[in-house]
Amino acid sequence: MASSPLVVLGVTGSIAAHKAIDLASQLTKAGRSVNVVLTRDAQRFVLPLPFKTLSRNPVVTDLYDEEEGWRPVHIRLADEAALLLVAPASAQTIAKMALGLADDALGCIALALNPKARILIAPAMNGRMWQHPATQGHVATLRSRGVDFIGPEEGMLSCGYEGVGRLWPVEGIVARALELTPEPG
């Protein structure tokens, strides 16, 4: 029996990080193997335990996290991933990915990602940050490299503003992730 497609779920520093817990749960229930990578900033909003429990896999919280064997965990995940899903994706993470910065586990996975894997980014940030020319330039760069984006959507933002910047609904992100990671068959 073929193994389930591996989704590496990168969670970044955003108030929407709590919604990534539901993402991990729904993707796991849909038959995907989920490994979660929490950035340092994400850990200001959510803890590893719910992700570990719902995904049934260890959570990477640091570039130097150890696991059994000799191969670094970020390289193993980059090699085995069918999809790198970054949700929520902060402006900082989008910029770092566009610039190829690899100063944390998520950045290293993105740079070392196997060429068959897809990347899906679900932004969540203040509307001005999303619409800033720098952010839009980074998005254009990533799109030119074949990266898919879903959202953001419009609505009331956690900062109190109304506008674009909300994380796309979890069900929509899950549906797109499943489209990008069909079961082997």
Residue type, 103: D
Residue 133: both structure tokens together: 């020319």
Catalytic residue selected from 47, 103, 159, 179? 159
CA dist., res. 145 & res. 153, Å (int): 23
The tokens 């073929």 sit on which residue? 2
CA dist., res. 25 & res. 82, Å (int): 18
Helical residues (DSSP H) of 3-104, grouped into ranges: 17-29, 48-55, 73-80, 91-99
> Has 108 been annotated as catalytic?
no
CA dist., res. 76 & res. 80, Å (int): 6
The tokens 């909003």 sit on which residue? 45
DSSP-assigned beta bridge partners for residue 168? none
Phi first, then psi, for residue 102 (nearest 5°) are -130, 65
CA dist., res. 85 & res. 179, Å (int): 12
Phi first, then psi, for residue 88 (nearest 5°) are -75, 150
Catalytic residue list: 159
